[in-house]
Amino acid sequence: MCEACNGDGFIINANGEACSCRCVAAFEAAQRRIRARIPKRYASASLDALAAVDSRQEKVIEAARAYCRSFTRSTDRGFLLYGPAGTGKTLIVAAVANNLLDRGVEVRFWNFRDLMAEERAWYNAPLGERTCTSPIQDARRCAVLVLDDILCEAQGNDFTRTAFEVLINARYEDMLPLLATTNVAKRLNGQEYWPVAFGDRVSSRLHEMCEIASTIGITDQRLPR
């Protein structure tokens, strides 16, 4: 029980006015964190506390910090990390998401594969057992969407391809920010690597929607050193 308000949710200030108790804001912040569903491993990721494993990762973390500094509630800019396994992509993007959550922004974290599986389950469920909106209908409207581990087109099927194109196009048209990670990249014009997750039409939109940084060259932190 809150000692300041005895659970009433409001207090009477020195001027005799009723105002919201600080425990209400704390409760709302906790609820916001639960709704965001950031996986346990990354739930306490923090850009302030994060020490880079090498100079390449330092640059990526700096780009993530710059993104957070420039973030406003009206921004359409997202942040996308691509690169090999174990290089800190999910950790850094989760740290960005935590920063935004602390600032009162509604965030939804989805693993790409899980989102597609739950969308399909929703689609196949009998009408009476469905929630009002499907996972993808939720994901297309939330203030900030995290899509972790976007696969390449070849790993998907017609259902995932269509669902994903609809999702990205809806957020693109509504100018809503996306935080994302992917392993899928190829050399463009024989020069630099670029993320090409899910084909040219989606990739084209992702490039316009997101600040993009690469974790190529950082060592896999999961392997023994």
Ligand X SMILES: Nc1ncnc2c1ncn2[C@@H]1O[C@H](COP(=O)(O)OP(=O)(O)OP(=O)(O)O)[C@@H](O)[C@H]1O
Which is nearer to Mg ion, 84 or 199 (by Cβ)?
A: 84
- Listed in sequence order, the DSSP H helices in the chain are 22-36, 55-70, 89-102, 112-124, 135-139, 158-174, 199-209
Site string for Mg ion, 56-95 (x = CB under 5 A): ----------------------------------x-----
> From the CB of 90, what's the least distance to ligand X, in Å?
3
Which is nearer to Mg ion, 90 or 99 (by Cβ)?
A: 90
Residue 53 DSSP code: S
Query: What residues line the site for ligand X (CB under 6 A)?
Result: 50-53, 57, 85-91, 149, 181, 183, 221-222
Q: If contact means CB under 5 to 8 A according to the sort of partner, which of Mg ion, Zn ion, ligand X, none does residue 169 touch?
A: none
Tokens encoding 208: 């316009």
What φ, ψ does residue 115 adopt, rounded to 5°? Answer: -60, -45
Query: What residues line the site for Zn ion (CB under 5 A)?
Result: 2, 4-5, 21, 23
Angle between helices 55-70 and 89-102 (to 10 degrees): 30
Q: If contact means CB under 5 to 8 A according to the sort of partner, which of Mg ion, ligand X, Zn ion, none does residue 222 touch?
A: ligand X
3-state helix, strand, coil in the chain (%, to 5): 45, 15, 40
